Chain A
């Protein structure tokens, strides 16, 4: 069903009569004119998004040195780029970290510095061949010294994105920013009403060859992004554009404290309004787009969903979680998303940007989103823990505990209540300290009350990380009623690793 062709629209751009609005303006227009009327009135709706897109990077061609080198390894400002391509081609990925500066500076910052015209130090090594005899190269370049500098991003512009909070008792450092303990804050990403892909959710105008705004330059969609998941409205796209034409304002290196680096990428997609269906889709509002709030405190692939929210609720600054009002933070910039949609609108009105229809649309059916195929069972706590665990009743003395530990020849003694619930833990070291300080009476006075525990179904990797973070050597394994069913020690894990 086509009422207008892309040629009709582009002719209007050429003669200056095109009618362009941003996706923020469209809901009111459709409400007033209806989808049919809006499709007649409006030719193009511009969208925009500006946020962290980790799966980004750039292909760089450095030009040949004399004598020539076939780079086997290459570092740009101390950040390794992938050189397993032809002699002097490299791909710098946004999340690769600097050897010397770590999380503070990564591939994303190298790309930002290139776009900003700054000098970049190159260090390359090679094994040397008859045609490429050179083994080491050190030089300094700017973007103008390169032949091609092409941004190529495998996964950008998520249609919508999950919301993060943290129900655990410690601060987490994630790609969704710092998540405070006990659901202390909520972070989200995505442009909602301006979301490029949510304004054309069946991708009638988005696909291979769609001309887009990419970081201030004209770029293209080259296909579906990795992890493209249209069935769940988590579509993504692969994009490319000329780094040399880009604007530093819309390509920014980011560093997430305790996590790593990422690239803030600015994308704007023009949606040509070819018919009433497309007009109707661009009337989407923040209130229409729902997302799950996930507990990042659970370090598993399938995190618990606490509730659903709309972008409208998220943008209000507070959402309700289990009866508490929690402050929300966006990780992506709505301010800049709006600037991008506006800038793209200007380009079209001035006749410097002509939208295209894709030669092949992004698939919106028949795409499977699969978890990783894993061979071999990941051992769980239940597989490794000591099942016969000796506990001691609360209220007994240090002397009693010392005797139990000595007879059992172990180091960690969980303390339980009359109802058999875990209330504390005592180690052989606690007892030694108590004896030295002459505190031999009640166990309650010397035991650790805030016991770090494990669940029998947890994978070993998670438990190993927990032991390391708390700098302890054992965790009582408890059920949901706090009853002790086992104990897992760092020794158990070491033995398991040694067997692998």
Chain B
């Protein structure tokens, strides 16, 4: 699952992620990182079974962890289930159900936003944490 690490300026100089990897042995994948003067935010993909330990290890070091919201949100009132979004998605997040309604496998989403610009009805939004 994906989590967002929020670190305040006093702890950003520390190698937080490296420390947590060494402590927990979990294979973390950094999806997106953004470090600014007032602190840092990193989106991290964590193996689901290691999540609890990883979150605890970060929190012990003074970081705040939030679960990443759904990476892409579909407004069902706007979506007409055309499926225009399907062919531009690089990671095959979107497909049709048996009844030709659109479904999304959000675990695969890398938040590139290609589907958002493709949607003719403004039904899709990429969440930025």
Contact = CB atoms under 8 A, between A and B. Distances in A.
A428 B102 CA distance: 53
A186 B87 contact: yes
Contacts of A253: 121
Interface string A318-349: 00000000111111111110100000000000
A52 interface: yes
Interface stretch (B24-32, B38-46, B51-59, B75-83): B75-83
Interface residues of A, number: 30
A410 B118 CA distance: 43
Contact of B99 (A52, A256, A335): A335
Contact of A333 (B80, B86, B87): B80
A348 to B, nearest CB: 22
B82 A330 contact: yes
A10 interface: no
A254 interface: yes
B117 A264 contact: no
Interface string A228-272: 000000000000000000000000111111000010100000000
A272 B121 CA distance: 34
B83 A50 contact: no
B82 A332 contact: yes
Task: Give the one of B80, B102, B117 with max A CB within 10 A.
Answer: B80
Interface in A165-180: 177-178, 180
A408 interface: no
A317 B81 CA distance: 15
B81 A327 contact: no
Interface in B54-100: 80-88, 95-96, 99-100
A187 interface: yes
Contact of A178 (B96, B118, B121): B118
Interface residues of B, number: 21
A40 B118 CA distance: 46
B120 interface: yes
Contact of B84 (A329, A334, A338): A329
A262 B84 CA distance: 14
A335 B87 contact: no
A334 B82 CA distance: 7
Contacts of A257: 117-118
A333 B81 contact: yes
A157 interface: no
A52 B120 contact: yes
Given A50-B80, A335-B99, A336-B81, A254 B121 contact: yes
The SS class assigned to the A binding surface is strand
A338 B88 CA distance: 24
A223 interface: no
A289 to B, nearest CB: 17
Contact of B86 (A50, A329, A336): A329
B128 to A, nearest CB: 19
B88 A331 contact: no
A327 B82 CA distance: 15
B87 A338 contact: no
A330 B87 CA distance: 9
Q: Closest 7 A-B residue pairs measured CB to CB?
A: A329-B87, A185-B87, A254-B120, A335-B81, A335-B100, A333-B82, A327-B87
Given A331-B120, A334-B83, 16 more contacts: A177-B84, A177-B118, A178-B117, A185-B87, A253-B121, A255-B121, A257-B117, A264-B82, A317-B95, A327-B86, A328-B87, A330-B84, A332-B82, A333-B81, A333-B82, A336-B80
18 contacts: A177-B84, A177-B118, A178-B88, A180-B87, A185-B87, A185-B88, A187-B84, A255-B121, A256-B120, A262-B120, A317-B86, A329-B85, A329-B87, A331-B84, A333-B82, A333-B100, A335-B80, A336-B81
